[in-house]
Amino acid sequence: MIAIIGAAGNFGAPITSALTDAGFAVSIITRPGSASVFPDGLPVVRVEYADVHALATAFAGQDAVVCVVGPGAIGAAKGMVEAAARAGVKRYIVNDFGWGLNERSLPELKPIGEPRKLAWECAFEYATRDEGKEDGFTWTGITIGNPIDWALAKFPRMGFNIAERHATIFDAGTEEFTGTTLEGIGQSVVGVLQHPAETANRFVKVRSIQTCQNKLLAAFQKATKGQQRQWEIERSTAQRTLEEGRGKHAQGLGGWILDLLVYQLYAPGEARCVIAGAEDSLLLGIKQESADEVVEKALRRARV
């Protein structure tokens, strides 16, 4: 029995369908006032996220809880861990789905990660309390790096404006990074729950692909070959993006987070976003995909 919080979200939806496809009995925890729409046939329990007592009641009898709430709910993440520990949940998948304990992240980004770190630390403490106990509390974090097919379709700032067929290549376009597709994110949760011993009390680091902008551009050009509109290519630098982001940050403007994330992805020679090797992905059954496959998925998501 698996409970998921955030089941209708960008990542929660593919995780929920991967879990049900894999045969897990899934129940959904949501807010009383939530307008989220969930798959038919799954039990839905409505609880205030700030109410630790009510959450513990909702988690009773669950073997595992998957926390995949969005940034708007991250302040409640620590209480969710406490509720799971109180309810006797054996595995808690903490809300990472990002860069894990990345000490190399830019200083401006650190405060954003603080509430989620508090929740992680709470999970570490309960796991230490229960060390050696059969059926004690354990946790896993899933570090995915760039959610690549979703991010390519959603954020032209990553360098590929799909609708306009306009690419911005940063520096030489050769900086490699790892990314995980939505399918891979769903499978990573399934894989963790299928391998509880190997994944207890640690961050697993997963990927569907390691690639760079030039390989993605070649895949976009191949996939859209023969279409009337061809890709225009503009050159920029990661350093310029960093300066633009820091300028927006200093002026209190929006958009700086994405600029800084793009800098971290493409900063030449730094490998800041090569997050995962092959090992955990192999263990968890995450399919390794080509740039062509990832780009096909991004084009389908962007529906152009």
Ligand X SMILES: NC(=O)c1ccc[n+]([C@@H]2O[C@H](COP(=O)([O-])OP(=O)(O)OC[C@H]3O[C@@H](n4cnc5c(N)ncnc54)[C@H](OP(=O)(O)O)[C@@H]3O)[C@@H](O)[C@H]2O)c1
Which positions lie near ligand X, rule CB under 6 A?
6, 8-12, 30-31, 34, 36, 49, 68-73, 95, 97-98, 144, 146-147
Residue 60's alpha-carbon distances to 73, 123, 175, in angstroms, are 21, 17, 46
Minimal distance, residue 8 CB to ligand X, in Å: 4
Q: 233 or 257, CB closer to ligand X?
A: 257
Minimal distance, residue 236 CB to ligand X, in Å: 20
Q: 3 or 219, CB closer to ligand X?
A: 3
Minimal distance, residue 87 CB to ligand X, in Å: 19
Q: 165 or 213, CB closer to ligand X?
A: 213
> Residue 226 and residue 218: Cα distance in Å, rounded?
14
> Residue 91 and residue 217: Cα distance in Å, rounded?
40
Minimal distance, residue 181 CB to ligand X, in Å: 12
Contact (Cβ atoms closer than 8 angstroms) between residue 276 and residue 178: yes
- Nearest-CB residue for ligand X: 72
Alpha helices in 158-237 (DSSP H): 182-194, 213-223
> Residue 74 and residue 54: Cα distance in Å, rounded?
18
Q: 94 or 169, CB closer to ligand X?
A: 94
Minimal distance, residue 103 CB to ligand X, in Å: 17
Q: 72 or 132, CB closer to ligand X?
A: 72
Q: 165 or 192, CB closer to ligand X?
A: 192
Minimal distance, residue 207 CB to ligand X, in Å: 12
Sequence-ordered list of residues with C-beta below 8 angstroms from that of 230, at least 6 positions apart, any chain: 165, 221, 224
Residue 156's alpha-carbon distances to 151, 167, 176, 297, in angstroms, are 8, 8, 18, 15
Residue 17's alpha-carbon distances to 5, 23, 55, 145, in angstroms, are 14, 10, 23, 21
